[in-house]
Amino acid sequence: MSRVTVDNLWMEYGDQVVLERVNLDIPSGEFCALVGPSGCGKTTFLRLLLSMEAPTRGTIRVDGEKLSPEPGPDRGVVFQRYSAYPHLTVEENVILGLEFARAPLFGKLWGSAKRQAQDEVASVINAVGLDHAKAKYPAELSGGMQQRLSIAQALVRKPRILLMDEPFGALDPGTKAQMHDLVRELWRAEKMTVFMVTHDIKEGFGLGTRVLAFDKVRVDPDEPQAYGATITLNLPLEDKAERAQVVQL
């Protein structure tokens, strides 16, 4: 369970208001697509959900509890760039999450513990279709494969919430469609609450079960920074069958 409630959230940098009056109540398992023009605080909102920054006003709660002030394994993330660790192979990248949990001293497993971890991640690596590329380094992979690796890496710790910042923005249309199928499948299996920032409105409606549009409702032409963006549209896609299957209303 991971119901996300946002209560009167404001984010200001100095006198520049980025987000204002954001109120949300997202049921557990919802796949939220964050859409809107550039510079409208979508990514900022994601950074707040990830605790990369603290809001200037308001609170974010998960299942009624305040969000931890720093990133943790309860919230997984997939960035658009710099997704995987360049010095680790595909398999090492995916195992990393387990190693952090099981080897507190150096974060590295050896021997039978390592073999056991390798067996455990084999299914995840299979699920994202990278089993033939286990021994490759990220630089040897295509853009789509790198993003699949990043998703597999994020899923290993079984986060309750998955945050994605334009995860497929740099991919070609064919690869994008494959990635959509993959993400939809993983979301159904894990029943995570997902927040995905996207520029592609079609992608947002196709993949999401709820679309959140960010925009500025108030604009002062003399002082453009005086008002921030807020959520102008909060649209659950109730006619989607999969929404009823996954989302716990």
Partner 1 sequence: MGRRIINRRPGKGGALFWGALPFLAVLVLYVTFSALRLAENPNDKLLPAFSTIADTLHRLAFVPDSRSGQVLLWADTASSLTRLGLGLVVSTVIGLVLGIGTGLIPYVRAGLSPFIAVLSLIPPMAVLPILFIVFGLDELSKVVLIVIGIAPFLVRDMAMRVEAIPSELVIKAQTLGANTWQIVTRLVLPSVWPKLMDSLRLSLGPAWLFLISAEAIAAQDGLGYRIFLVRRYLAMDVILPYVAWITLLAFLMDWALRYANRRLCPWLERGAS
Up-side HSE of residue 57: CA atoms within 13 Å toward CB?
12
Residue 232: CB minimum distance to partner 1, A: 28
Nearer to partner 1, 74 or 215 (CB): 74
Nearer to partner 1, 70 or 222 (CB): 70
Cross-strand pairs, 76 = 162
The rounded distance, in Å, linking the Cα atoms of 159 and 5 is 17
What CA–CA distances, in Å, run from 18 to 14, 61, 164, 231? 10, 20, 20, 12
Q: Pick from 21, 57, 108, 180: which binds partner 1 (CB under 8 A)?
A: 108
Q: Pick from 55, 97, 167, 204: which binds partner 1 (CB under 8 A)?
A: 97
224 binds partner 1 (CB under 8 A): no
The backbone region for 82, taken as left when phi is positive above 0, alpha when psi lies in -120 to 50, beta otherwise, is left
Q: Are strands 16-26 and 57-62 parallel, antiparallel or unpaired?
A: unpaired
Task: Give the count of residues interacting with partner 1 (CB under 8 A).
Answer: 39
85 binds partner 1 (CB under 8 A): yes
Q: Pick from 3, 61, 73, 113: which binds partner 1 (CB under 8 A)?
A: 73
227 binds partner 1 (CB under 8 A): no
Locate all alpha helices (DSSP H) within the chain, ordered by sequence.
Answer: 42-49, 90-102, 111-127, 143-155, 173-190, 201-207, 241-246
DSSP string, 10-76: EEEETTEEEEEEEEEEE-BT-EEEEE-STTSSHHHHHHHHTTSS--SEEEEEETTEEPPSS--TTEE
Cβ-based neighbour number of residue 105 at 10 Å: 5
222 binds partner 1 (CB under 8 A): no
Q: Pick from 18, 48, 67, 77: which binds partner 1 (CB under 8 A)?
A: 77
Residue 76: CB minimum distance to partner 1, A: 6
Q: Pick from 107, 123, 185, 217: which binds partner 1 (CB under 8 A)?
A: 107
The rounded distance, in Å, linking the Cα atoms of 192 and 189 is 8
Q: Pick from 14, 64, 69, 104: which binds partner 1 (CB under 8 A)?
A: 104
The backbone region for 64, taken as left when phi is positive above 0, alpha when psi lies in -120 to 50, beta otherwise, is left
111 binds partner 1 (CB under 8 A): no
Nearer to partner 1, 28 or 150 (CB): 150
Site track for partner 1 across 139-178, x = CB under 8 A: xxx-----------xx-xx-x-------------------
The residue ranges that bind partner 1 (CB under 8 A) are 50, 52, 70-73, 75-77, 79, 81-83, 85-88, 96-97, 99-101, 103-108, 136-141, 153-154, 156-157, 159
